A and B are shown apart, each in its own frame.
Chain A
Amino acid sequence: MELRFSIEDERFREEIADWLADNLTGEFAAIRFRGGPGDEHMFPEERKAWERRLAEGGWTCIGWPEAYGGRGASIEQQVIFHEEYARAGGPGRMGHIGETLTGPTLIAFGSDEQRERFLPGIRAGEELWCQGYSEPSAGSDLANVKTRAEFDETSQQWRITGQKVWTSLAHESDYCFVIARTEPDSAGHRGLGFFLLAMDQPGITVRPIEQMTGTSEFNEVFFDEAVCGAGDIVGAPGDGWKVAMGLLGFERGVSTLGQQMLFQNELDEIVREAKRNGAARDPMIRQRIADAHIGLKIMRYNSMRTLSGNADDGSLQPEAMIYKLYWSTWHRNLGKLAMDVLGPEAEICAGAPYELNRLQSLFLFSRADTIYGGTNQVQRNIIAERALNMPREPRG
């Protein structure tokens, strides 16, 4: 076992840290530490400009192969990038869906024409993407999508009709990838297609969802005969599920250590507050703060195991399968701890009419963590069935 990064990787760390220190200044100083989860609605224009600055420096899409404009960075280097980015207070990325989902999908499953058309815009930080997966009746049960895609022979276009929901950044995005049913009478994961749609067209309406935080990061997206070209389907009609599942496999956990850096910032704020207001003398609070500290340390060690890849056959490892359930539960508990450290002050907002402070946002927004991306209940089913080989749930 070796816990340290190599000398070359440490040099890479210096390079990105220096670049961030030089560039997160001037017009970008104001968006440091902004735009993360719970704050994604803030500073969209400044953060779009930041995406372009990142691209100019060659710091977008670093994990992509060099042939597609990336750096071909190793897993370790990608981890270091995310860690340093979070440490420097790099703003919440607006290009991350294109970079981490659309790009790898097109590289793996797309046509040459699709790659040539879409990858440069993502790499340049100029074209933003959103993800059209969930629907009102297809949440955990993603295969239950109802959105339809019909091919119109006359215009040689696909026409998409239906509704997506929980689409983050839809109102800021240029493109959306959508799973829709290409075979009208199909059910489950059969008969689906994976489509690439321009957002700026009359057939698409975006409606923000007002969350319990009073802010809106997620949207409903309505498709009423929205169109895309015959060449804008990834794979063949009917391949949609395969492409969508392949896409989920691209999440290699490289951003997890960066995410943990944000969690550390939150825990540090709670520790500062506890010392300031005297909660640090309460034995129960002391236990819970230490427990949060332990939980975050172990989250890091779990990620280190995942990234070191100890499964010989390359299959998903046990510690990778627990990650979502582990971090979401930890983070939700951190939100509760934050309120208990604040005491009565927890109720008082930063401003009228409903401006939440950072810890209040944490408390409320962390309730979403155990729901999106697979609820804790679904995660437990996945662990039981795939890691522990227990019987599968009956399907309706």
Chain B
Amino acid sequence: MEFRFTDEQRMIRDTAEAFLSVASDGEAVRAAMASELGYDVALWKQVCEELCWPALHIPEDYGGLGLGYVELAATMEQMGRFLFCGPYFSTVCLAVNALLVAGSESQKATWLPRIVAGDTATLVGALDTPLTWEATESGYRLSGSCRYVIDGHGVDWMVVAARQAQGGDIGLFVLPGDADGLTRQWLPTMDQTRKQAQLDFDSVQIASADRLAGAADADAALAAVLDLAAVALAAEQVGGAQQCLDSTLAYVRERVQFGRSIASFQAVKHKAADMMVKVEAARSACYYAACIAQEFLAGGPMGEELAEAASVAKAWCSDAYLFNAGCGIQLHGGVGFTWEYDIQLYFKRAKSSEILLGNAAVHRERLAAQLLD
């Protein structure tokens, strides 16, 4: 048993930390979040071409780096820590995972190299998707509207989850962003560091070949994709929760009241200690889930734990991030409430990450059903 980073994994984390601490500093984040697209195109190009992060867990057969989910989690943790603005979660943690889990060999060979080359993508719809599909003579037709699509207004293409019109099976389809009958509208969000869109499908035509055909059970496949994404999101939450603690510690050490650093007050120390308990436990839950996600993708026996490990991690990390961000504002005092200080950005991101892919209560109920029903 070696439940810790290997030297190579530590190197990947350190590289991400070194790059993002400069490329995704406060100024860069604020510039990106003020734009409708939500990221700096030149920076994203650098991330794709120099760091090859989108290729990280894509198998070498498809031009990827062939690394594991622990490496992915280590990178996501640093992205969360520095509020990296870019279509990474949507492209890699949603679309790539959908293709890895549900794509046929030829579909993977078609689409994954395009991600390696710098395409952006996302996933539209979830298990309770509001979209419907029906068969046509030449393929399929998609209808309905979907909100909360991550980066949906800007991506090159997307994987769409829809149900058959009469309450039937889930179908997963690959669709270009400029398809006829598809309208995409950016939705301004409270957390400006991650963009969302509304997508309206008005009888959008899809060729037969673009229905993902690699999984026997599309419901199970979609559930697994969402679990894999939840694990990656949990890693982002760990990074965010850690940064809330670190920036708060830096502030309370500097801030002097009653003639002493407020870091010397026990009330402040105990709150900081509670924040550390939250984030260290979150880290344990997230790394464990990342190992299980790796097993799942490799077809190993422990992969069966994916749903449970994902729910454990997403439930804890959601609460931990929001707790640490809330404590962070409180310990910053008045300046924590200002636009100028970054802690407010983390607070908003903590809330949006908590809601995304099911909040803690949703994941606890999923575990309760497994334990009690």
Q: Which of B264, B280, B372 contacts A286 (CB 8 A)?
A: B372
Q: Shortest distance in angstroms between A303's beta carbon and chain B's nearest beta carbon? A: 9
Chain A nearest CB, measured from B251 CB (Å): 12
Instruction: Check if A390 sits within 8 Å of B249, measured CB to CB.
Output: yes
Interface: A7 (CB within 8 A) = no
The interface stretch among A123-131, A142-150, A379-387 is: A379-387
Interface centre among B4, B5, B245 (most CB of A within 10 A): B4
Flag whether A221 is at the interface (Cβ < 8 A).
no
Contact A391 B261 (CB under 8 A): yes
**Which B residues lie within 8 Å of A293 (CB)?**
312, 367, 371
Residues of A1-27 at the interface with B, using a CB-CB cut-off of 8 Å, are 1-6, 9
B288–A381 touching, CB < 8 Å: no
**Is residue A186 within 8 Å, beta carbon to beta carbon, of the partner chain?**
no
List of A residues within 8 angstroms of B272 by Cβ = 383-384, 388, 390
CB distance from B303 to the nearest CB of A (A): 12
- Minimum CB–CB distance for A15 against chain B, Å: 18
Binds B, one of A208-216, A227-235, A317-325, A359-367: A317-325
Report if A297-B280 is in contact (Cβ < 8 Å); known contacts: A3-B1, A305-B4, A380-B270: no
Chain A 319-333 against B: per-residue CB contact (8 Å), 1 yes, 0 no? Answer: 100100110000000
Q: Chain B residues near A107: list those with CB within 8 A.
A: none
In the complex, what distance in Å separates the CA atom of A252 from the CA atom of B250? 31
Instruction: Report if A348 contacts B (CB, 8 A).
Output: no
Q: Are A319 and B3 closer than 8 Å at their CB atoms?
A: no
When distances are taken between beta carbons in the complex, the residues of chain A under 8 Å from B283 are: 305, 319
Residue from A280, A291, A387, A393 with most neighbouring chain B CB atoms (10 Å): A291
Q: Mark A12-51, 1 if CB is under 8 A from B, else 0.
A: 0000000000000000000000000000000000000000
At the interface, yes or no: B277 with Cβ under 8 Å from chain A? yes
Residues in A neighbouring B290, C-beta threshold 8 A: 1
Residues in B with CB closer than 8 Å to A297 are 285, 312
Task: Determine if B263 and A390 form an interchain contact, defined as CB atoms under 8 angstroms apart.
Answer: yes
User: Within 8 Å of chain A (Cβ to Cβ): is B287?
Assistant: yes
> Which of A294, A325, A377 sits near B364, CB closer than 8 Å?
A294
Please indicate the chain B residues that have their CB under 8 angstroms from the CB of A393 in the complex.
266
Closest Cβ of chain B to A317, distance in Å, is: 9
| B302 in contact with A3 (CB, 8 Å) | yes
**Contact of A381 with B371 in the complex, beta carbons under 8 Å:** no
Q: Is A302 an interface residue (CB 8 A)?
A: yes
The answer to whether A349 has its CB under 8 Å from any CB of chain B is no
Across the interface, do A294 and B315 meet the contact criterion of CB distance under 8 Å?
yes
A310 part of interface (Cβ distance < 8 Å): yes
| B165 at interface by CB-CB < 8 Å | no
Q: Looking at the complex, which one of A1, A5, A307, A380 makes contact with B70 (CB distance below 8 Å)?
A: A1
Q: How far is the CA of A307 from the CA of B263 in the complex (A)?
A: 31
Q: In the bound complex, do residue B372 and residue A274 qualify as a contact, i.e. CB atoms below 8 Å apart?
A: yes
Contact B1 A298 (CB under 8 A): no
Contacts of B330 in A (CB 8 A): none
Query: What is the minimal beta-carbon distance from A187 to any residue of chain B, in angstroms?
Result: 23
Q: How many residues of B contact A (CB 8 A)?
A: 47
Once the chains are docked, how many angstroms separate the CA of A387 from the CA of B245?
12
Closest to A391 in B: B264
**Pair B2/A308 contact, Cβ less than 8 Å:** yes
Contact B3 A305 (CB under 8 A): yes
CB distance from A324 to the nearest CB of B (A): 10
User: Complex formed: what's the CA distance from A341 to B270 in Å?
Assistant: 31
Asked whether B288 lies within 8 Å of A383 as measured between CB atoms, the reply is no
Flag whether A254 is at the interface (Cβ < 8 A). no
| A388 adjacent to B5 (CB under 8 Å) | no
Residue A76 is within 8 A (CB to CB) of chain B in the complex: yes
Q: Are B269 and A390 in contact (CB under 8 A)?
A: yes
The interface centre, meaning the residue of B245, B270, B277, B290 with most chain A CB atoms within 10 A of its CB, is B277
> Are A301 and B269 within 8 A (Cβ)?
no
Instruction: Encode contact with B along A273-317: 1 for CB under 8 Å, 0 otherwise.
Output: 011000010010011011101100110011011011110000000
Contacts of A76 in B (CB 8 A): 1
Closest to B261 in A: A391
Q: What residues of chain B lie closer than 8 Å to A305, measured between beta carbons?
A: 3-4, 283-284, 287
- Contact at B4–A302, with CB atoms within 8 Å? no
B372 touches A1 (CB 8 A): no
Question: Closest residue of chain A to B290, judged by CB?
Answer: A1
B281's contact among A286, A298, A384, A387, by CB below 8 Å, is which?
A: A298
A384 contact set on B, CB distance < 8 A: 269-270, 272-273
Cβ contact within 8 Å between A377 and B270: yes
* Complex: chain B residue closest to A296, CB-CB: B312
For B61, the chain A residues whose CB sits under 8 A away are none
The 8 Å CB contact of A391, one of B2, B263, B276, is B263
Nearest chain B CB to A348's CB is how many angstroms away? 24
A271 contacts the other chain (Cβ, under 8 Å)? yes
How many angstroms from the CA of A274 to the CA of B371 in the assembled complex? 11
B361 within 8 A of A: yes
CA A293 to CA B291, docked complex, whole Å: 19
Q: A390 contacts B364, CB within 8 Å?
A: no
Cβ of A356 to closest chain B Cβ, rounded Å: 26
The reply to whether B3 and A301 contact each other, CB–CB distance below 8 Å, is yes
With CB as the reference atom, state the residue of chain B lying closest to A317.
B280
- Whether the Cβ atoms of B365 and A383 lie closer than 8 Å is no
B372 adjacent to A322 (CB under 8 Å): no
Residue among B2, B249, B252 with the highest chain A CB neighbour number at 10 A: B2
Set of chain A residues within 8 Å of B274, measured between Cβ atoms = 380
A322-B311 Cα distance, complex, nearest whole Å = 22
- A318–B276 touching, CB < 8 Å: yes
> In the complex, are the beta carbons of A291 and B364 less than 8 A apart?
yes
Question: Among the listed B3, B253, B368, which residue makes an inter-chain contact with A290, where contact means beta carbons less than 8 Å apart?
Answer: B368
Chain A residues with CB under 8 A of B4 = 1, 305, 308-310
Contact B1 A307 (CB under 8 A): yes
B residues less than 8 Å from A301 (CB atoms):
3, 284-285, 287-288
Within 8 Å CB of B266, what residues of A?
381, 393
Choose among B1, B261, B276, B373 the residue that contacts A5 (Cβ–Cβ < 8 A): B1
Given contacts A297-B285, A319-B280, A388-B245, 6 further A-B contacts (CB under 8 A): A294-B364, A305-B283, A310-B4, A310-B5, A390-B263, A391-B263
Of all A-B residue pairs in the complex, the 5 with the closest CB atoms, nearest first, are A384-B269, A290-B364, A301-B284, A310-B4, A391-B264
Query: A-contacting residues of B (Cβ < 8 Å)?
Result: 1-6, 9, 70, 245, 249, 252-253, 261, 263-264, 266, 268-270, 272-274, 276-277, 280-281, 283-285, 287-288, 290-292, 302, 311-312, 315-316, 361, 364-365, 367-368, 371-373
9 residue pairs bridging A and B, Cβ less than 8 Å apart: A1-B290, A5-B1, A287-B368, A290-B315, A294-B311, A294-B312, A298-B285, A308-B1, A388-B272
